[in-house]
Amino acid sequence: MKKQLAIVLDFGSPYSHLIARRVREHGVYCEVVPSTKPTEYLIEKEPLGIILTGGTSSVLASGSPLCSAELFNAGIPILGIGYGAHLMAHLNGGVVSASAKSECGEVTLNIAKPTSPLFNGAQAVSTCWMSHTDEISTLPDGFSTTASTDACSCAAMENPDKKLFAVQFHPEATVTDCGSKVLANFLFDICGFAGDWKMADYVKNTIAELKAKIGDKKVICGLSGGVDSTVSAVMVHKAIGQNLTCVFIDHGLLRKDEGDMVEEMCLSTFKMNFIRINAQEQFLGKLAGVSDPEKKRTIIGEEFIRAFEVAGKKIGKVDFLVQGTIYPDVIESGVGDAALVKKHHNVGGLPDVIDFEEIIEPLRLLFKDEVRKAGLELGIDEALVWRQPFPGPGLAVRIIGDITKDKTFILQEADAIFREEIAKAGLDRSINQYFAVLTDIRTVGVTDDSRTYDYTVALRGVTTTDFMTADFARIPYDVLAQVSTRIINEVGHVNRVVYDITPKPPATIEWE
């Protein structure tokens, strides 16, 4: 049976990922496609519904992204959001003009037409999230207004006969009270989706596709120890067994005991063909005396390639390379087409050091939260699946200044304590990312009535939906106090602990 598909047509919105995630949360499979794709391409994919995203442009400006007006006559249900709503009006003969009063933030939404299929079951008056400086001032023929705000006479419109619907507000935002209801009404009542897309089915089907694609050929996977590469490796292993070789390069900059956890999973739990290269001295030697974060990243990248090259020579020729690419990576690279395999010229330095034909990316259609669900379906331990996001260069970017073995040990211990206490407090699933940083600041302290001059550890915790923006997590004071006490008492050469309360922007989530 053909998979039911929703398309999110992206006009440059920073929230395209979030819209797609909201759709998938309703059990509907969707793909984000750039607005540059021709109408013929969209129709050939046979979507049951299309969502036009917002964007940073104005339909009044020259060179703004457009779609063909033919799309609105294809008989496919379409929901326009923000810029997508303006585009629907503009291309169907309506008028979009600059707003007399722009809206940004939470405003009161009034449903003018409760019989609208888009607002069925929604409250007559509720809160929504607005962000616009243009508005639909004249509706196209055949359309009627279905909602308004005090400053926006057309906050939503529809032409049910043509299955065209539009909203000025953002239904994907959690502060929009009726947002989930609007999306559900569009997906199920208007488009006719079954809402039966399940991760268990996705995993099963992907494993079958991998098995058919690879056959008895040889595959290699550069296992970083992160969630994405781990889930990718296990999925491919489930498909082809010992024809997969996983190479795990331990550069000594992982979190406490993380390397051993990955090895235990690969060897004991899944009986995988696994090679661990202990290259701590090699990496730390190259990093000695280097403080610049970009130089650290460059050195680690180069040494990773060199270490992988050694492993590649031992293994010999392979047919495929596994990568843990996930859907946000695909979207951000501007690739709208989703495919299981792509040619190897799209990958970085590895083609120069190992001989293979193609790249396999079994997770390239999944978002991060979906990758975790896939990992659980594959039988990976929760402790591994729910590990915190971790930068490629590891702790090197969480040690400010030069890197030494002693500094690495200090940070590993402090970070482990922080993560342990967050888990004990039951906050590990509500804080999206949390970690410790070893600053390059040394301050005066007092320990056992003696003066000390030791390091300051910074704690960072954020809440976010998309990692594009983030707020600092409101960790209870008693939890922070316990973390601080344990770090200072249990970790040597630390006499001060601080908590970072800066949102993103202006700060980034990581420190370097």
DSSP calls for 429-470: TTSSEEEEEEEEEEEEEEETTEEEEEEEEEEEEEE-SSSSSB
Residue 468, pLDDT score: 66
For residues 12-41, average pLDDT: 90
| CB 438 within 8 Å of CB 399 | yes
Distance (Å, rounded) from C-alpha 78 to C-alpha 271? 48
Residue 331, pLDDT score: 61
Residue 2, pLDDT score: 67
Dig out the tokens for 353 from the structure: 């050091």
Longest dimension (CA), the chain: 82
Q: Which helix (H) or strand (E) holds 72?
A: none
Q: In which band, very low, low, confident or very high, does the pLDDT at 417 lie, cut at 50, 70 and 90?
A: very high
Residue 167, pLDDT score: 97
Residue 338, pLDDT score: 33
Of 84-98, 331-345, 479-493, least confident by mean pLDDT is: 331-345
Residue 17, pLDDT score: 82
Burial class (CB in 10 A: 0-12, 13-18, 19+), 1: exposed
**Of 203 and 393, the one with more pLDDT:** 203
Cα torsion through 51, 57, 60, 64, rounded to 10: -80
Residue 501, pLDDT score: 97
Distance (Å, rounded) from C-alpha 275 to C-alpha 252? 16
| CB 113 within 8 Å of CB 152 | no
pLDDT in tens, 226-252: 889 899 999 999 999 999 999 998 999
What does each C-alpha distance from 255 to 223, 417, 484 come to in angstroms? 15, 11, 19
Residue 462, pLDDT score: 96
Q: Which residue from 459, 450, 449, 448 is spatially nearest to 496, judged by alpha carbons?
A: 459
Count helices and strands (H / E) in the chain.
Answer: 14, 19
- In this structure, is the dihedral angle defined by the CA atoms of residues 35, 38, 41 and 46, taken in order, positive or negative? positive
pLDDT above 80 for 421: yes
**Helices within 134-277 (DSSP H only):** 179-184, 199-214, 227-240, 258-264
Distance (Å, rounded) from C-alpha 402 to C-alpha 396? 9
pLDDT above 70 for 296: yes
| CB 320 within 8 Å of CB 219 | yes
pLDDT above 90 for 384: no
Q: Which helix (H) or strand (E) holds 273?
A: strand 273-278
Domains of the chain: 6-190 (3.40.50.880), 199-385 (3.40.50.620), 404-500 (3.30.300.10)
Residue 398 gets which letter from DSSP? T
pLDDT above 90 for 408: yes
**Of 450 and 214, the one with more pLDDT:** 214
Identity of residue 3: K
Q: In which band, very low, low, confident or very high, does the pLDDT at 14 lie, cut at 50, 70 and 90?
A: confident
pLDDT in tens, 312-365: 777 878 888 898 888 777 665 544 333 343 333 333 444 455 566 788 999 988
pLDDT in tens, 257-276: 988 988 999 999 999 999 99
Percent residues over pLDDT 70 in the chain: 93
Q: E strands of 93-155, at which residues?
A: 95-111, 125-138, 144-148
Residue 346, pLDDT score: 35
Dig out the tokens for 338 from the structure: 């989703």
Mean pLDDT value across the chain? 89
Residue 8, pLDDT score: 95
For residues 94-116, average pLDDT: 91
Residue 337, pLDDT score: 35
The structure's pTM equals: 0.74
Cα 261–chain centre separation: 24
For residues 280-301, average pLDDT: 92
Q: In which band, very low, low, confident or very high, does the pLDDT at 89 lie, cut at 50, 70 and 90?
A: very high
Distance (Å, rounded) from C-alpha 282 to C-alpha 411? 20
Percent residues over pLDDT 90 in the chain: 66
| CB 498 within 8 Å of CB 458 | yes
Cα torsion through 214, 219, 222, 223, rounded to 10: 70
Residue 333, pLDDT score: 56
DSSP calls for 335-360: -----SEEEGGGSSSGGGTS--SEEE
Q: In which band, very low, low, confident or very high, does the pLDDT at 466 lie, cut at 50, 70 and 90?
A: low
pLDDT above 90 for 435: yes
Distance (Å, rounded) from C-alpha 369 to C-alpha 473? 19
Cα torsion through 26, 27, 28, 33, rounded to 10: 80
pLDDT above 90 for 49: yes
Residue 289, pLDDT score: 94
**Helices within 252-364 (DSSP H only):** 258-264, 280-287, 293-315, 327-332
Q: Which helix (H) or strand (E) holds 403?
A: none
